[in-house]
Amino acid sequence: TDEARHLNSTSVRELLISSYQESYQIVHEASLHSRQRQSSPSSSKHVFTFPRQTEPETLEISRAAEVFQTTLQVLKNRAKQRYKRDVMAPELLSWEDVELIAELSQCPPVTHPTICLQSHLNKYRSISGLCNNGENPLWGTSNTPLVRWLPAEYEDGGREPKGWNRGRLHNGFQLPPTEATTTDAHSCMPFFRSKAACLVNFGSEIQQALQRQQMNAITSFLDASGVYGSTPRLESFLRDLSGLDGKLAVNDKFRDPRGRAYLPFIATLPSACRQSPHGERVECFRAGDSRVNEALPLICLHTLWLREHNRIAEALKHINGHWSPETIYQETRRIIGALHQIITMRDYVPKIIGQEAFEHHIGPYQGYDPSTDPSVSNVFATAAFRFGHATISPILSRLNESLQKHEHFPHLRMDSSLFSPWRIVKEGGVEPTLRGAFGTAASAISANTLLTEELTERLLVFNVSQYMDLASLNLQRGRDHALPGYNDWRSFCGLQRIKTMDGFKKVVRDYRVAKKIARIYKHPNNIDVWLGGLVEYVLPGSRTGPLFACLIGKQMKALRDGDRFWWEAEGIFSQQQKAELLKGSLSRIICDNSDIREVPPDSFGFRIPLVSCDHMPSINLEAWRDEKSQDLEQCGTPRRIKNGDFILSNTYGKLVALYSCYHGFKLKGAAAIVCEGNQWSNQPPQCTGTPH
Ligand code: HEM
Ligand SMILES: [Ca+2]
């Protein structure tokens, strides 16, 4: 260690810069290769790419992070050559060096809290989540790392997945392979590592700051980012900026038989989605979340939310004729966000983790807590919330108005329903699938077959032209992300560690499963956390065992308490508006935006008699009638501007119009004008430039 410490700083800098140059070259070539691979046609018969479109922001940051990580690796290799022994990066580098590598790699600079003083970030949520927390502007924002609740356990301390070195023993045993061994050695499954994230936390230990982290491309908050997107760029694609009514853009080629809207298409060549065997082309749908086309029920939900936004926007425009399109859009977005939160927290989460665990881990709301980091944790995304994969039924049922098998559109094997937006457009709209979803139970997690074979034998993902196994992907993903083992997470949750494999049998639903796992893993500490959590006894009235209930509960509490714009937080809605919002439900949204006239009173309950939509409570938007109209009578509606818009806000008792430009345009002039003495203080600003 001494030579390394005594290295004078200039030679470290030289080493560092030349390592950076080499790593830049490596990453550049690797990305060229992967682009070539993606554009060359595959010979297989299942040729369609997984339409998880990655946003340019995400790509830029992950590329920077890749250069950062590779620089550390090159540096380590060179130091090893020089000193003839393993030198760990933290031994060589100071914080200044780390900052220099981050800067050279083009990781985004540190975000300073002063940017949050801009007032337009305070009336409504920003689209990326930026400045939700004024002290920690990046908490919960898109394109930042999944946070760690326990430190990562990479095989080399920094980047190698667990199990990477076959000879390496963990608690005395090799980790078992994540893929079922087959006799056919070519048939091994391809696996792509998750995109890396740039470090943001200069407050942590240097060792931790240098570790590979994984990126969350979407906002952590329950903010309806699935409807509006998580970046300004995507948001501007999704909005209908040509209309003057604050709506979202809809499909301009197809509508359902009653004239209801579909999501807009996203045209990619070759099409990333399946095509109907006959008839016109149907492209993939575009929504705020790139996974929209994956399964038919998911497309239906996205479609319902699109229609609900436009329905509410229309009603608000009617009630507040003086509102600008921007105000209509933002107020509607706020209502849709609140409905997401209510439906998730009131109707869904208690059924997933059980009422008791809900009270224990989440409890009643006690106001916004700025010290809570709302970011999604790595273990939540990579293990706990993937419990859902065990609730997927192999058959997608489609039902008619009497909730019987549909005459024209039969049930589908899951395999033939993935990435098939044409089945919505050409096969009866959203109704048959929605009825199938609430008229059929989610698969019970069965002890011996955790996941349906449709997911383990016939899954199509990314642009891989062979069937994949979702269970293997989940296990390998956990190792890719270096999640600690099952026992460490049990300790984290205050549950007893499993000492013996006999002890394991006590927490597992089925002793045969416990025996199998024991045989394969040989040591309880080694059990991958997704698997361990999935096989635990399910708590009464829930769909998860104690470990996942804890991890999901903690995450949900953080998402609620750490969200400045949480619907119940002070100053977000009036008492009257809150009372109205509580009348909202997924069933009501189905009533208002589809042909379905009978719904379960609770969409997440099963085997309950349906009720007529006439009996489902609905939100009265009169509670949003705006008193500011009086002020407006004095000054008149502020002037609209080209390529931008304004929102009205009441600041210190004055009516203010806050202008902003659409993505890609620059604001020229004062962003805010104030209504004073019967007139507006200034001329509105202009939006200049041309967007790329
Ligand atoms: C037809 C149904 C579904 C299919 C085909 C599916 C498929 C997938 C695939 C291919 C991945 C990426 C796996 C990887 O490479 O790591 C994934 C990730 C994930 N899935 Fe599913 N899934 C389905 C339903 C669900 C449900 C119902 C839930 C939860 C209730 C869920 C939760 C998750 C989560 C949390 C992730 C990780 C997301 C991330 O961090 O990027 N999935 N799923
Ligand atoms: Ca979100």
Q: What is the pLDDT of residue 267?
A: 75
Residue 188 burial (CB count, 10 A): 11
Q: How far away, in angstroms, is 386 Cα from ligand 1 center?
A: 6
- Point out the least confidently predicted range of 10-24, 234-248, 321-335, 574-588: 10-24
Would 495 be classed as within a structural domain? Answer: yes
DSSP string, 263-320: PPEE--SS-SS---SSSS---EE--SSTTTTSSHHHHHHHHHHHHHHHHHHHHHHHH-
Burial of 191 by CB count in 10 Å (0-12 exposed, 13-18 middle, 19+ buried)? Answer: middle
Q: Which of 216, 248, 280 is the last residue of a domain?
A: 216
What residue type is 661 in one-letter code? C
User: What contacts 612, CB < 8 A, 6 or more positions away?
Assistant: 597, 598
Would 536 be classed as within a structural domain? Answer: yes
Q: What percent of the chain has pLDDT over 70?
A: 90
Q: Are residues 167 and 251 in the same domain?
A: no
Q: Are residues 297 and 436 in the same domain?
A: yes
Would 368 be classed as within a structural domain? Answer: no
Q: Looking at the predicted structure, is the pLDDT value of residue 421 above 50?
A: yes
Q: Are residues 429 and 283 in the same domain?
A: yes
442 lines ligand 1 (CB under 6 A): no
Tokens describing residue 337: 């966000």
Q: How far away, in angstroms, is 139 Cα from ligand 2 center?
A: 12
Q: Are residues 608 and 673 in the same domain?
A: no
CATH of the domain at 594: 1.10.640.10
Q: Where are the alpha helices (DSSP H) in 41-94?
A: 56-83, 89-92
Q: Are residues 42 and 169 in the same domain?
A: yes
Would 361 be classed as within a structural domain? Answer: no
Q: Looking at the predicted structure, is the pLDDT value of residue 51 above 50?
A: no
Q: Which of 216, 234, 269 is the last residue of a domain?
A: 216
Total domains in the fold of the chain: 4
Provide the strand spans (E) within 565-616.
598-599, 611-612
Residue with the smallest CA separation from ligand 1 atom 30 is 388
Q: Which of 516, 533, 557 is the last residue of a domain?
A: 557
Would 447 be classed as within a structural domain? Answer: no
Atom in ligand 1 nearest the alpha carbon of residue 414: 1
User: What contacts 301, CB < 8 A, 6 or more positions away?
Assistant: none
479 lines ligand 1 (CB under 6 A): no
Q: Which of 52, 146, 376, 386 has most ligand 1 atoms within 8 Å of CB, for mutation?
A: 386
Q: What is the pLDDT of residue 450?
A: 80
Categorize the per-residue pLDDT at 627 as very low, low, confident or very high, splitting at 50, 70 and 90.
confident
What tens digit of pLDDT does each residue of 304-320 get?
999 999 999 999 999 99
Q: Are residues 474 and 413 in the same domain?
A: no
Q: Are residues 433 and 489 in the same domain?
A: no
Would 143 be classed as within a structural domain? Answer: yes
Burial of 227 by CB count in 10 Å (0-12 exposed, 13-18 middle, 19+ buried)? Answer: buried
- Point out the least confidently predicted range of 24-38, 184-198, 327-341, 475-489: 24-38
Q: Are residues 179 and 74 in the same domain?
A: yes
Q: What is the pLDDT of residue 447?
A: 59
Atom in ligand 1 nearest the alpha carbon of residue 380: 35
Would 359 be classed as within a structural domain? Answer: no
**Average pLDDT for residues 556-568, to the nearest whole number?**
98
- Find the ligand nearest to 224 CA: 2
User: Which residues span the domain enclosing 642?
Assistant: 629-688
- Find the ligand nearest to 218 CA: 2
Residue with the smallest CA separation from ligand 1 atom 11 is 470
Q: What percent of the chain has pLDDT over 90?
A: 59
Conformation bin of residue 224: beta by default, left when phi > 0, alpha when psi is -120 to 50: left
What tens digit of pLDDT does each residue of 564-618 get?
999 999 999 999 999 999 999 999 999 999 999 999 999 888 667 899 999 999 9
Would 565 be classed as within a structural domain? Answer: no
Q: Are residues 472 and 601 in the same domain?
A: no
Q: Are residues 471 and 551 in the same domain?
A: yes
Q: Are residues 237 and 212 in the same domain?
A: no
Residue with the smallest CA separation from ligand 1 atom 26 is 388
Q: Are residues 431 and 549 in the same domain?
A: no
Q: What is the pLDDT of residue 42?
A: 40
534 lines ligand 1 (CB under 6 A): no
Q: How far away, in angstroms, is 230 Cα from ligand 2 center?
A: 7
Cα distance between residue 139 and residue 147, in whole Å: 10
Residue 53 phi/psi, 5-degree rounding, is -65, 130
Tokens describing residue 416: 């033939």
- Report the Cα 508 to chain-centroid distance in Å: 30
> Considering only CA atoms, which of 568, 579, 571 is closest in space to residue 623?
579
Conformation bin of residue 653: beta by default, left when phi > 0, alpha when psi is -120 to 50: left
Q: Is 6 annotated as a binding residue?
A: no
> Considering only CA atoms, which of 662, 665, 668 is closest in space to residue 690?
665
What tens digit of pLDDT does each residue of 220-253 get?
999 999 999 999 999 999 999 888 899 999 999 9
Q: Which of 298, 353, 470, 473 has most ligand 1 atoms within 8 Å of CB, for mutation?
A: 470
Q: Is the model more confident about 485 or about 21? A: 485
